[in-house]
């Protein structure tokens, strides 16, 4: 099966009309008509991830985010960039194929990005989740205990919290990536991938800090983009196995970029 044939199968099974005008959900690098020996799913096409996929014999990479450091994967200003040359040469030399699925993944029902993110932080009941956030109820705990659970389960090195760790919480709102939900009166904790700290449409950081200073049970956890969206690519691979039977499919996570 070629890379193009793999994508055709995904299009047939995705469950939503395919938008051929999407600039995101396209082949980014390599020959789409090359034979696929194995498929790696990942959130971000880092060089380290490419090497691990190649070493595992997986020559097609299906990613959720961009390859060349900008949303459109525009490369016209990168042709002289040494890192662009090295990354491109590595993929072509090893007969690898890179394809992105972003827009259509977020249109699927359920949205595996949200499903995987909820599972990764230990919040149950999100098996049918979509990007529109809803409140999930967990057994009452302190914000500090819940944050420690999130850190342990995700393995994150550098996520950030705002709020009183002693506050009692049980109502959780989650949105991965840039879809960090706005804090509401009903929610105790908002979990997101990333968000502006100030000058946004609604500044969760300042709101939660103010609430905490007034003794209100409000908390904010910022996981980072990779940590928040990555688990959904494992779910995507599991889904692909239901209709791609003869090609190995393996989840090859990108490394968390941040450390403290």
- What tens digit of pLDDT does each residue of 34-66 get? 999 999 999 999 999 999 999 999 999 999 999
The mean per-residue pLDDT over the stretch 134-158 comes to 97
| Domain(s) of CATH 3.40.1390.30: residues in the chain | 3-108, 112-227
> What pLDDT score was predicted for residue 94?
98
Across-strand partners of 191? Answer: 174, 221
> What pLDDT score was predicted for residue 50?
98
Neighbours of 248 (CB within 10 A): 14
Indicate the angle between helix axes 112-120 and 231-240, nearest 10 degrees. 130
The mean per-residue pLDDT over the stretch 195-221 comes to 96
- Tally the C-alpha atoms within 13 A of residue 64's C-alpha that lie toward its C-beta: 28
The pTM of this model reads 0.96
- What tens digit of pLDDT does each residue of 95-109 get? 999 999 999 999 999
> What pLDDT score was predicted for residue 137?
98
Share of the chain above pLDDT 90, in %: 99
Query: Which CATH entry fits the domain spanning 112-227: 3.40.220.10, 3.40.1390.30, 3.30.1490.100, 3.40.50.410?
Result: 3.40.1390.30
Neighbours of 52 (CB within 10 A): 18
Quickly state the pLDDT bin for 216 (edges 50, 70, 90).
very high
The rounded mean pLDDT for the chain is 97
Domain 3-108 in CATH 3.40.1390.30? The answer is yes
């Amino acid at each position: 099966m070629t890379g193009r044939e793999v994508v055709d199968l995904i299009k047939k099974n995705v469950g939503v009309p395919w938008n051929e005008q999407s600039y995101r959900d396209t082949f980014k690098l390599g020959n789409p008509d090359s034979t696929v020996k194995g498929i790696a799913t990942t959130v971000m096409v880092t060089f380290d991830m490419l090497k691990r996929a190649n070493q595992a014999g997986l020559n097609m990479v299906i990613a959720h985010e961009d390859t060349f450091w900008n949303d459109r994967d525009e490369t016209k200003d990168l042709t002289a960039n040494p890192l662009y040359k090295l990354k491109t040469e590595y993929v072509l030399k090893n007969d690898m194929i890179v394809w992105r699925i972003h827009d259509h993944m977020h249109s699927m029902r359920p949205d595996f990005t949200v499903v995987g993110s909820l599972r990764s932080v230990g919040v149950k009941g999100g098996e049918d989740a979509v990007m529109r956030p809803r409140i999930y109820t967990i057994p009452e705990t302190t914000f500090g205990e819940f944050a420690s659970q999130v850190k342990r389960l995700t393995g994150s090195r550098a996520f950030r919290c705002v709020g009183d760790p002693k506050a009692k919480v049980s109502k959780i709102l989650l949105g991965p990536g840039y879809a960090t939900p706005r804090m509401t009166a009903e929610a105790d904790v908002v979990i997101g991938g990333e968000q502006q700290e100030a000058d946004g449409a609604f500044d969760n950081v300042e709101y939660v800090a103010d609430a905490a200073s007034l003794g209100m049970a409000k908390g904010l956890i910022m996981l980072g983009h990779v940590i928040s969206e990555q688990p959904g690519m494992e779910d995507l691979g599991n889904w692909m196995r239901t209709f791609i039977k003869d090609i190995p499919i393996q989840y090859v996570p990108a490394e968390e970029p941040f450390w403290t």
